[in-house]
Amino acid sequence: MSAPRFFCDIPLTAGARVALPEALAHHALRVLRLRAGEAVVLFNGQGGEYPGTLEVDGKAGFAQLGEFVPREAELAGRVTLVQGLPSGDKMDWVVEKAVELGAARVSPIAAQRSVLQLSGARLDKRLAHWQRIAQSASEQCGRNRLMAVDAPLTLAEWLQQPADGLRLLCHPEADEDLAGTLRAAAGLQALTLLVGPEGGWSDKELAQAREAGVQAVRFGPRVLRTETAGLALLSAASALLAW
């Protein structure tokens, strides 16, 4: 059985004895019921990881770190998933699975047809919740770098940001398909995938995206749910690009 992995947002150095943050120590000692002398792995999101040995002093936990291991589990290129906010807690699923599939960033969009609308303290709380999900998913799947989760923007606001590589919007009536578009994109290093909420993008949003140079592509003969579409696109794109 592999050693449990923990994200530890502090400087880590080979050979150091580090005090585990209180929340991490509680999870390791009280929830997972780990005992002194058990093997653990720590990473701080900067790349690589440190195997270590757990030490316990009352409610406090420490890790005696071994040598740095420069192991990575990232895709060869950067994939950003721009996800129209879905209803309920579907975004939790999207964030978790996007981490597992290797996305570098998830950018939620408060689309015109999004049922979920967030603002103020509720938005801050939900964003922190998504970031914790990304952290936990990285611990589970073996990634040593954290996927970024942005605060929600409108599509118009998001389009004002500098483009990062090829930007593709999923639309069932697009002329070009995903596979053909990616085959023509030799040497691609960054890809952004845009997926609408339930009900899809509005005509105004489609026009905004087109004017900003975003290319529409279709993906198969079936209409996928919003929480499925982006993840399926991400998986297919990384396979087609051999990332």
CA distance 107 to 72: 23
C-alpha 215, offset from chain centre: 23
Q: Which pLDDT score is estimated for 196?
A: 96
pTM, 2 dp:
0.93
Q: Which pLDDT score is estimated for 117?
A: 81
* Predicted confidence (pLDDT) per residue in 57-69, tens digit: 988 999 999 999 9
Q: Which pLDDT score is estimated for 1?
A: 66
Residue type, position 37, single letter:
G
Q: Which pLDDT score is estimated for 164?
A: 87
Interior/surface letters 90-100, b for 16+ CB within 10 angstroms, e for the rest: bbeebbbbbbb
Using alpha carbons, list the distances in angstroms from residue 84 to 130, 146, 194: 15, 21, 8
Q: Which pLDDT score is estimated for 116?
A: 81
Determine how many CB atoms are found less than 10 A away from the CB of residue 187.
Answer: 5
Residue 167 backbone phi and psi in degrees, to 5: -115, 120
Which residues lie closer than 8 Å to 6 by C-beta, 6 or more apart? 20, 24, 27, 28, 40, 41, 42, 43, 139
Low-confidence ranges of the chain (pLDDT < 70): 1
